[in-house]
């Protein structure tokens, strides 16, 4: 890992929760990136990752339905942008938001989905999900969440997700996991799309794993020793 020869490919680094929060703070405070800007480009990249692992032609249901479950915070914002881009990519996304958000960015992203005629679910029954949707996007909770502090309505939602037969796509981390360690009794996504850098909990992640966030400044990549793999062409995601 300390090898500095040009031929030596250094290992990808998995960030701790503190590092992930610190890096995002720098991006917003020092680089003057905006949350709206990051959310849009990350949501687009997450939808693109989904098209790679679950292309339209591979879906089993008669319609290319996807349920996107969006929490009230930043992870849910990326989920809402992802749902909208899935719609543009000709999937049929339905949105479920277990809790109203007081965040104006979240509210604007909701209006965009509503005005673009994306349907919203008002409840989340396991049987209906398995029957009606090809996959479920989990954008409920992000790495800043303390798993022990998670209460209702999220514990109920996570329990429902754990009981599903259809594949789950988690954005950034699987909701309910501690960002610093993997979980054996939490939800078990088929696809994980890490945002900007993978978190420690994904170190031995067994499913498909993609990285979104190609815009990350090279200086920050170096500062956090990320050793990200090369994105090809103009691709917004890369498989890890």
Binding site for its own copies (CB under 8 A): 30-34, 36-37, 39-41, 44, 47-48, 51, 84-85, 88-89, 105, 107-109, 111-112, 115-117, 214-215, 217-219, 233-234, 236
The CA-based dihedral angle spanning residues 216, 90, 233, 169, taken in that order and rounded to the nearest 10 degrees: 50
Minimum distance between the CB of residue 123 and its own copies, rounded to whole angstroms? 25
Taking the least distance from each CB to its own copies, the nearer of 20 and 42 is: 42
Residue number, 41 or 164, with CB nearest to its own copies:
41
Which DSSP symbol is given to 144? Answer: T
Do you know the residue count of the chain? Answer: 240
CB of 4 to its own copies, least distance (A): 22
Q: DSSP for 175-238?
A: TTS-TTS--SSS---SEEEEESS-BGGGTT--SEEEEE-TT--HHHHHHTT--PPPPPTT-SEE
Residue whose CB is less far from its own copies, 137 or 141:
137
Least separation in angstroms between CB 89 and its own copies: 6
Q: How far is CA 78 from the centre of its chain?
A: 7
**Pairs from 26-31 (Cβ < 8 Å, separation ≥ 24):** 26/220, 27/196, 27/216, 27/217, 27/220, 31/217, 31/220
What is the 8-class DSSP label of residue 99? S
Closer Cβ to its own copies, 150 or 238, answer by number: 238
Residue 24 token pair? 């995002």
Least Å distance, CB 176 to its own copies, is 29
Q: Which tokens in the block code for residue 197?
A: 């850098």
Using the minimum distance from each CB to its own copies, give the nearer residue, 94 or 145.
94
We find the least distance from the C-beta atom of residue 122 to its own copies, in angstroms, to be 21
């Amino acid at each position: 890992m300390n090898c500095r020869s040009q031929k030596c490919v250094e290992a990808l680094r998995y960030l701790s929760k503190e590092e992930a929060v610190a890096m995002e703070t720098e991006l917003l405070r020092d680089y003057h990136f905006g949350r709206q800007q990051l959310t849009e480009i990350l949501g687009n990249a997450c939808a693109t990752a989904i098209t790679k692992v679950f292309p339209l032609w591979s879906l089993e249901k008669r319609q290319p339905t996807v349920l996107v479950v969006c929490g009230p915070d930043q992870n849910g914002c990326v989920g809402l942008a992802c749902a909208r881009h899935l719609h543009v990519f000709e999937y049929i996304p339905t949105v479920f938001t277990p809790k109203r958000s007081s965040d104006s960015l979240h509210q604007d992203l909701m209006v965009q989905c509503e005005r673009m005629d994306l349907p919203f679910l008002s409840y989340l029954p396991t049987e209906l999900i398995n029957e009606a949707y090809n996959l479920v996007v989990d954008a409920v909770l992000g790495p800043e969440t303390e798993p022990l502090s998670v209460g209702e309505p999220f514990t109920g939602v996570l329990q429902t997700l754990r009981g599903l037969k259809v594949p789950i796509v988690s954005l950034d981390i699987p909701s309910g996991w501690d960002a610093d360690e993997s979980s054996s009794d939490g939800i078990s996504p088929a696809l994980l799309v890490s945002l900007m850098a993978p978190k420690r909990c994904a170190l031995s992640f067994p499913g498909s794993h993609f990285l979104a966030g190609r815009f990350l400044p090279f200086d920050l990549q170096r500062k956090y020793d990320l050793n990200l793999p090369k994105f090809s062409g103009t691709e917004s995601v890369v498989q890890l």
